[in-house]
Structure 1
Amino acid sequence: MSVDAWLIFTVILGFWMAWNIGANDVANSMGTAVGAKAITPKQAAVIAGVMNFTGAYFFGKSVTETIRKGILNVGMIHDPWIIVYGSLAALLAASIWLIFATYNGLPVSTTHSIIGGVVGYGLVYAGASIVDWGKLGQVVLSWILSPILGAIVAYFVFKAVKKSILARSDPLRSARHWAPFWIGLAFVVIGTMFYIKVLHGSNLLTGVILYGVPTGVVIFALSYVIIRLHFRPNDPYIGVESIFRKVQVITSAYVALAHGSNDVANAVGPIAAAYAVITMGMSGMKVPVPRWVLVLGGLGIALGIFMYGYKVMETVGKRITELTNTRGFSIDFSAATVILVASWLGMPISTTHTVVGAVIGVGLARGVKAINKDIVRDIVISWFITVPVAAVISAVIFKFLVLVG
């Protein structure tokens, strides 16, 4: 194949990967809102599409890592075309696995899919010595940590919301006192996450002081005034749920923004890496991501959401456990908190696994019978086979590309 043909193939493949990210990972941001009937699937697709594109284009990481997460020892790769073939093999393998998972409504990690693809071509090219098994061990650890932490935090958050509001003799009166507190606290986390995850800041204390607390205080004051002056529903429980319904739309939209700014790298990183190596050789291993590549990734994610996102949304929002707006709020709040703290501590964590774990935790707060154990089993199995399946597919594709290249 000519250089131009490889470039065109790379761009098409990267766009397809972005499409798959949108189709599968959208459940992280919108599944709970749809399941709790805060918004319709079509509204979720529009909101998530716009917010993901905005996050990808305006806040997408400016530098791409050729070897995702440092899984491979780059020093052992001397032929720049190995990077091209490997990046394409990893993209194609991850895309094939993601389309299969999405078709079956299984929320899986796109990051883990790409890592599996990278490991697969690395093993074929240079054997086990090229793989950083310590890094890969952290990925495996995230399979365990993410859902457990998400479930534990969500369990206690929903229990606290229930005790402070829903279980009181006058839930609406309690909501007027406690809802602004919970909403404000959620936006302290969201404001801080904006600094850490979207603006890519590194100092947690700076994020809390400059972004988290001011945002939380403003939202607390606004929600306190609005709920006190303009909220007079007839049914107290419906009234409480409607308060959190509006908040849940905002929290879900934020998660979509953060998702676009971070996970777009799963699609555009390999595109930019292959593009740079094709045009500049090994000197292009770390390069600024061109804006057109971020646009490509953002558009691909948005289209994936619009065209196929409903499959995984239904699983996360409806098939694991029954959701209400207070439960959905507890899930969003808990997942955001776990992801923020994990990012600060440098712990390996998966957004997908954390959100699903939080959904399970809220379900467990109502008893084991509230959980659909069959779908949880299928999801967990899909998590554990993601890396090895992607690795095998990538290895086969890599060998083929080397032969035809």
Structure 2
Amino acid sequence: MVTLIAFGTGVAMAFAIGANDVANSMATAVGAKAITPKQAVLIASVLEFLGAVLFGSHVTSTITKGIVKVDIVNDPNTLMIGALAALISSSVWVLAATFWGMPVSTTHSIVGGMAGFGIAAGGWNAIHWAKMVSIAMSWVISPLLGGLLAYGVFKLISLLVLRRDNPVRAAKKTGPIIIWVTFFIIVYLFAVKTVKIGYGKSFVFSFSVSALAMIAGYFLLKRNSQKHNADPYDFVENMFRRLQVMTSCYVSFSHGANDVANAVGPVVVVYSVIKTGMVSSQIHTPIWILFLGGLGISMGVLFLGYRVMKTIGSDITPLTNTRGFCIDFSTASTVLMASVLGFPVSTTHIVVGSVVGVGMARGIEVVNVGVLKNIVLSWLFTVPLAAVFSAILFKLFTLII
């Protein structure tokens, strides 16, 4: 019974992740009308599934995530019940936020769930509070970094391209460089964060791929510039439209690979305890569990992904392809810097901060402060609500199971 509940809840959590977090990758492309909402959910569902199955973490750290001290809470059955409680509480909160249209961090939700069960099981001393403080800091640092970078990138593109007397000529000159930087960051981030092949080899590989992309981009821009003499800004927006779709697809694929552990991690803990009677700090994740997680994420995208997409893509500030590219570029760059430095950040928070940063570059009056306030409130409630609900569920489960 516990196994069935764990797998059912794991799929529900994956569904919630797909419904909420996919806005991180596709919302700006939809808001900028680079692709339609139907195209976005179809593309994202496929890429999320492939990312989860092909590159999902096969060696998943236990769902304690460094929050619960396993030397205090070390009973396998307690960890199993706690993982189940954390999973259910996180799923309920993320789904509730999705129906509300609010983008929240699924990682922070599961962390809150783990903290709640840890306190209920072992008291306040059972929690690594230094880890919790670093997560709380990321609530401020993540959106701030993303917003500042997006603001700067948009201002730079405006200076170098959009405000030039001849935007087409300016785009032909700066376009290859922008293409090189974009490809380098995406490929390097994929190699380091998803494939995990090492910084040195990742740098060489990324440099080579981005150089080829820059050369190809130079000739494509040169050829396409002759077709847009009547509307120079259409040429510029078309260039950024293609780059934006590419970055959105990458973020979606990478999200499936990196965040599927939030859904299947607790399931693996339960599965390991039932199968072996013990739980270790590192557990091998069977491919069929990754398959279930990927399937759940893709279903969440298909059925509910449009809700949060609308909030990020159009409700905060109006977007064009140029602005959408700045957001995606800044998000990928911030995640890359955080990964290299080992600092925990939320992609959801970075995306929202980047959207606000692009809006602020055009003036505070174009940012919907009311929507932004509701988003920030949902962030503040994520950890405490997930923690309280998880603690209650843990106490109930200890009486039943």
TM-score range, shorter chain: over 0.9
| Cα 1:27/1:68, change in 2 over 3 Å | farther
Structure 2: give runs of 5+ residues left out of the alignment. none
Q: Specify the SS of the correspondent of 1:181.
A: helix
Aligned: 1:369 with 2:365:
yes
Aligned: 1:310 with 2:301:
no
Structure 1: give runs of 5+ residues left out of the alignment. none
Quick one: distance in 1 between partners of 2:102 and 2:114?
22
Q: Specify the SS of the correspondent of 2:59.
A: coil
Which of 154, 165, 179 does residue 161 from structure 2 map onto? 165
Q: Specify the SS of the correspondent of 1:106.
A: coil
Instruction: Give deviations 1:257-303, integer Å, cap 9, x for gaps.
Output: 11111000000111111100111122455321000100000000000
Which of 198, 210, 222 does residue 216 from structure 2 map onto? 222
Give the CA deviation at 1:84. Answer: 1.4
Aligned 8 A contact 2:62 2:283 in 1: no
Quick one: distance in 1 between partners of 2:44 and 2:389?
30
Aligned 8 A contact 1:150 1:357 in 2: yes
Quick one: distance in 2 between partners of 1:383 and 1:78?
30
Range with bigger deviation, 111-120 or 374-383: 374-383
Q: Specify the SS of the correspondent of 1:287.
A: strand
Name 2:207's counterpart in structure 1.
213
Which of 114, 134, 137 does residue 138 from structure 1 map onto? 134
Q: Specify the SS of the correspondent of 1:69.
A: coil
Quick one: distance in 2 between partners of 1:57 and 1:112?
23
Aligned 8 A contact 1:64 1:273 in 2: no
Name 1:24's counterpart in structure 2.
20
Aligned 8 A contact 1:277 1:285 in 2: no
Give the CA deviation at 1:200. Answer: 2.3
Aligned: 1:257 with 2:239:
no
Instruction: Give deviations 1:44-70, integer Å, cap 9, x for gaps.
Output: 111111111111111111112223421
Aligned 8 A contact 2:20 2:94 in 1: yes
Quick one: distance in 1 between partners of 2:367 and 2:299?
31
Matched to 1:129, the amino acid is N
Quick one: distance in 2 between partners of 1:76 and 1:105?
38
Quick one: distance in 2 between partners of 1:200 and 1:323?
33
Q: Which runs of 4+ in 1 moved over 3 A?
A: none
| Cα 1:395/1:349, change in 2 over 3 Å | same
Quick one: distance in 1 between partners of 2:365 and 2:281?
51
Name 2:7's counterpart in structure 1.
11
Quick one: distance in 2 between partners of 1:241 and 1:356?
22
Q: Specify the SS of the correspondent of 1:282.
A: coil
Q: Specify the SS of the correspondent of 2:284.
A: coil
Which of 183, 187, 209 does residue 187 from structure 1 map onto? 183
Give the CA deviation at 1:79. Answer: 2.3
Give the CA deviation at 1:201. Answer: 3.7
Aligned residues: 399
Match runs of 1:1-400 below 5 Å = 5-203=1-199, 205-210=200-205, 212-231=206-225, 232-233=227-228, 234-400=230-396
Quick one: distance in 1 between partners of 2:49 and 2:300?
11
Identical-residue share of aligned pairs (%)? 47
| Cα 1:395/1:367, change in 2 over 3 Å | same
Aligned 8 A contact 1:90 1:117 in 2: yes
Q: Specify the SS of the correspondent of 1:64.
A: strand
| Cα 1:348/1:285, change in 2 over 3 Å | closer
The TM-score normalised by the length of structure 1 is 0.97
Matched to 1:13, the amino acid is T
Give the CA deviation at 1:381. Answer: 1.0
The TM-score normalised by the length of structure 2 is 0.98
